[in-house]
């Protein structure tokens, strides 16, 4: 975008802030959330929109938010056609965001909306990405804290880019970084790693992570494992290095043992009972081989997923985007009936 366009947008009172909130079965917290978001948008120093991405909720969240978007022009609703997962829901929201600064936050009020004002202050100082670092985690199980801690340690040790510790997806991102983010089509998304990769001028604000206001966590052990795998495989080649080292070690041991056997044979020793050693070697090599094939398979699987070039998500319904939709329809007929 040229600076002339930029100036024109500002002149016509274009949006300054877009809030992006992924929603998966959050009906319990929604009334409280909307009150806090309203207050936040009033407190912000420019026009703001709130984009709610309904990630295939099976409760009344979708209905509630659609209605809200119909009534309040600052609210937008995007309903994905099924549950695509937190990271993809964030992406869908960022794709739709039109503000000069885009703020991603969780819906359960674990990311306190008031912190956004601190982020905005940093943005005004000239930072392009302002992420929120958790100083303390309240109301989360010891298991969650322990696994989260181990995960961030592992990541710090092995990832190719510096992914800040104790930082989730709560962050403010400048328009130009959002545009760069849109150019990253990868399927297995680990959004905080992607922002670390993108660079630009980044800084942090600190906050206390409050307990969930209502409802239960949507991150099951399975979802957490998948996120961790995406992070490690997407942002490090440590698993591949492990394979090489393991393969090398196993082969070396087998070679040494072979040399020992040959030496004994040359020395004229009785070598009839080789059963145990044969089994041992076969097992060792078989095990190493399986491990290697498995890990290489992980990467091949990724390549397979990427080359399919599927869209990241499918939108089933939209609400509150009337103006944007109208201008687009004037240019070209819509491909799909509006939901
Ligand atoms: N979420 C989502 N899709 C999912 C899982 C979670 O959009 O498949 C949303 C959820 O509604 C919440 C945010 O992602 O707004 C973070 O989820 P949660 O609070 O359950 O995670 P935790 O804070 O326990 O890590
Ligand atoms: Mg939460």
Q: Is 85 in the pocket of ligand 1 (CB under 6 A)?
A: yes
Q: Is 84 in the pocket of ligand 1 (CB under 6 A)?
A: no
What residues does each domain of the chain span? 3-236+311-329, 238-308
Q: Which atom of ligand 1 is nearest to the CA of 106?
A: 15
How does pLDDT run across 214-253, given as a tens digit for each residue? 778 878 788 888 888 888 777 777 777 777 778 778 777 8
Is residue 311 pLDDT above 70, yes or no?
yes
Pocket test for ligand 1, best of 83, 219, 222, 225 (most atoms within 8 A of CB): 219
Q: Is the dihedral of CA 59, 62, 68, 70 positive or negative?
A: negative
270 token code pair: 């009785």
226 token code pair: 């998948």
| Cα 21 to ligand 1 centroid, rounded to whole Å | 10
The reported pLDDT for the residue numbered 128 is 94
Nearest to 22 by CA among 72, 81, 94, 102: 94
Q: Contact at 8 Å (CB) between 92 and 230?
A: no
CA 45 to chain CA mean position, Å: 29
How does pLDDT run across 1-16, given as a tens digit for each residue? 444 555 554 445 688 9
Distance, in Å, from the CA atom of 65 to the CA atom of 298, rounded to the nearest integer, reads 38
Q: pTM (2 decimals)? A: 0.74
The reported pLDDT for the residue numbered 1 is 42
The reported pLDDT for the residue numbered 289 is 81
CATH number of 3-236+311-329: 3.90.550.10
What mean pLDDT is reported for the chain?
82
The reported pLDDT for the residue numbered 7 is 52
Is residue 333 pLDDT above 70, yes or no?
no
Phi-psi region of 268 (alpha: psi -120 to 50; beta: other; left: phi over 0): left
Distance, in Å, from the CA atom of 212 to the CA atom of 189, rounded to the nearest integer, reads 24
**Can you tell me the mean pLDDT for 277-306?**
77
How does pLDDT run across 293-308, given as a tens digit for each residue? 777 877 887 787 777 6
| Cα 75 to ligand 1 centroid, rounded to whole Å | 20
């Amino acid at each position: 975008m040229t600076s002339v366009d930029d100036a024109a947008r500002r002149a016509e009172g274009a949006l300054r802030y877009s809030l992006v909130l992924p929603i998966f079965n959050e009906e319990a917290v929604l009334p409280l959330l909307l009150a806090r978001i309203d207050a936040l948008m009033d407190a912000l120093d420019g026009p703001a929109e709130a984009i709610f991405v309904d990630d295939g909720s099976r409760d009344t969240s979708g209905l509630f938010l659609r209605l809200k978007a119909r009534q309040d022009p600052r609210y937008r609703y995007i309903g994905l056609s099924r549950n695509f997962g937190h990271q993809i829901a964030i992406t869908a929201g960022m794709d739709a965001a039109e503000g000069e600064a885009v703020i991603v936050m969780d819906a359960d009020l674990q990311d306190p909306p008031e912190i956004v004002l601190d982020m905005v202050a940093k943005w005004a100082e000239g930072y392009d990405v302002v992420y929120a670092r958790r100083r303390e985690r309240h109301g989360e199980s010891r298991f969650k804290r322990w696994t989260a801690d181990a995960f961030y340690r592992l990541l710090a040790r092995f990832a190719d880019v510096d992914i800040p510790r104790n930082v989730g997806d709560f962050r403010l991102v400048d328009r130009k970084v959002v545009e760069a983010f849109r150019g990253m089509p990868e399927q297995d998304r680990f959004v905080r790693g992607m922002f670390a990769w993108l660079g630009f001028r980044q800084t942090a604000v600190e906050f206390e992570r409050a307990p969930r206001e209502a409802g239960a966590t949507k991150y099951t052990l399975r979802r957490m494992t998948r996120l961790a795998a995406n992070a490690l495989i997407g942002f490090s080649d440590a698993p591949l290095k492990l394979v090489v080292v393991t393969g090398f070690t196993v082969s070396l041991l087998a070679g040494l043992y072979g040399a020992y056997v040959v030496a004994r044979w040359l020395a004229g020793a009785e070598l009839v009972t080789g059963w145990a050693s044969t089994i041992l070697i076969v097992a060792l090599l078989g095990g190493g081989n399986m491990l290697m094939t498995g890990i290489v398979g992980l990467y091949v699987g990724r390549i397979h997923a990427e080359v399919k070039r599927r869209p990241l998500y499918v939108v089933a319904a939209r609400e509150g985007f009337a103006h944007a939709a109208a201008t687009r329809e004037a240019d070209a007929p819509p491909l799909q009936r509006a939901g």
